[in-house]
Structure 1
Amino acid sequence: MQAAAPLRPHRDDVRIAVGGLLGGLALWGIGLPVNGGRPLGGTWALVPLVVMAALELLRRTRPRLAVIIGTVAVIADQFTDGNLATVLMFTDLMYAGALYGTPAAARRLPVVTGLLTVAVTLGFVAWWRKPEAVLVGVLTGLVSFAPAATGMLVRGHREAAQTERLRAEQTALLAELDRTQAVTAERARMARELHDMVANHLSAIAIHSTAALSLDDEDTTRTALKTIRENSVDGLAEMRRLIGILRDAGEDTEPVAAPTLAGLGALVEQSRANGLDVRLTVSGAATGLPAPVELATYRIVQESLTNALKHAAPGPVSVAVDRSDERVEVRVDSPYGDRDGPRAPGSGAGLVGMRERAALLGGTFDAGPSDDAGPDGNAGSWRVHAALPLHTEGGDPT
């Protein structure tokens, strides 16, 4: 909806009206008429002048009305001695009509004035049959078509400038949204990476420290302290690696290789050292995988073993990685039931991270209790299942 035009005239329009009226009075006072030998002489020339000055107050708020009445006034001025200020103010009304009028009126005004100019020229040429008749058409064009066309051009430039400003604002807004989304995505990636790298070590430290405090046995305490030290050193190394990546020390910093499926054996051995009975099965070619898929597979297995260490009931944990031509499937089954030993606290961020990694690659992820027999043959297990397509247009799973 178009906003209603203001009732009060613009201060610039008031200045134009006052200036035109005073200028016209000065020209009339010194006896400088435009026309000669017209039927209405004397003070009659002041009537169109005053009307035109009043219309200048409407040039911005009611441009269409000002053009219509102004046209009548300038025609009436031709029957008086005339006044140059009246004609000049009329040209300003034509200019303002194209500049401030509605888009449809602004488009029609140059066309109408152009046709009027041609018609007046042809009419006077046919009437007078003299070359001087062309000058009447030229004057008509100067006071009607020229200002209307100028107003239309200025309006076009203003609209183009406004469009460019809006486009620049939209571009800046989109850039800010992209920046915000990039920061959010990077924060999520860092959170996943930090959780997957450190949670396993901290969970083992929490469980073994609880066991060392609850059991009064020297050998158990020594074993627990040894495991705690190993996980502390490994966790510290992982933290230093992540901090080094974030700081981006410079070109001399060697790139850190991302975990691969070849590292699953070492990951399983570490889990066994932490007290898990893990069985690993890898079928299909373990090489030639896309780097994002390989990293996501490793992280899902790592987080699943971390969750098993924190929450699973006693018993073996099975890890199966199956690579086909189309996808890589990861299945981790651990005993599901009551746990007698110490637990490490969990926040659920691990499941969220695994689901995000699968979704970024266009894969699927499920985790929950399963009625199938567990790895130890007992009923009931907690199953983590992820299917990651090898050919995907997804983003970086890290």
Structure 2
Amino acid sequence: MRRPTLTPRQVDGAIALCGLLGGLLLMAFRVYDHASTVQRWQVLPALLAMSGLELMRRTRPILVVSLGGLVFAGSIFSGALLATTIMYTDLLYAAVVYGPRRMSPVLHVSGTVSVLVLTSLTFVYADPATAVAVVVVTVLIFLGPLWTADIVRKHRQEAEAQRLRAEQTALLSEMDRREAVVAERARMARELHDVVANHLSAIAIHATGAQSLARRQRRAADDPVVEVLGVIRENSVQGLAEMRRIIGLLRDSGGGEADESYAAPDLSAVDALLAKARAAGQDVGLVFELAERGERGGLPVPVELAAYRIVQESLTNALKHAGPGEVRVLLDFRPEELWIAVDSPFRQGAGQALPGARAGLVGMAERASLLGGSFEAGPRGDSWSVRAVLPRALTTEEGTGRA
């Protein structure tokens, strides 16, 4: 449990109150100089004045220490009270710690003069032993608080310098980290552009050339070769567009607004996915339907991207493997989770074992797992079922992150 801390004003008030109560207690027992000849009421004004000055020890250090010296000098003649003396030493300490730099040398000079004057007067009008005692007492009163305050102020300045140095080091480290991240992102973007994107462009170009050759050979539009070439070209073009989007994201260093064409897709684009799926599924007897439940509200960008990709991959798998019938997509927006359900007609036969099969399922499972969700897919009755649960709030190893 965290302990309550006092504000500086409350600390000053507590010091003033303790000094006042301590002084009143000493007055009650007549513990002050010349108690036999000085009445209690004569000691009280200096005590009250010194307690009041304690309330402004931080805010008005120069004024307070000046008035405090006059009050202390008056208290010596009206009956010196220990509480008044202690509070005056605290005012000297506060003037050096909270006041301007010049306060320390000024008070050292005035304190040394006071010690010499009082010691000289005592040596002249009293015996040497008393003069030695006065030297010790006056040094403790006028110079001891100043020495202590100098040490405290020096340590505070060193601590502040260390704090600023640590902040500068952290800032430089963060700048180096960001520069390294930007450089790595730029390197990755170059590699993707020079290697992967070029290969996808070559695939698209060769597929287009093969389609042109098929048209010159007067092949029918429903020829399997023509259909496969169309699929290859369409997927390579789409992959190239996605690759360019990723390259744009990598090259965006975060110094300004990213190009909208590079924005990560979200669930608002699911309708466009379904429209493409309906157009592609007409020839094979597939019908696509979308249903939503609950309030969509605000979702983290990674969650929306993962949900979009899971729906996209599920629709692609349905176009590749599903038999004729209805493909149902359900987005259930719950208070804590987003449920995704895709059911498509299950087609038995060798068509399930196409090259690269299950790679998409692995990718969907990884997306859900990275966000702390769950994923499962498989036959359920006469349907192929895909189920994904994504948390609306992102979680990390340290706990819940920002949504």
TM-score, normalised on structure 2?
A: 0.48
TM-score, normalised on structure 1?
A: 0.48
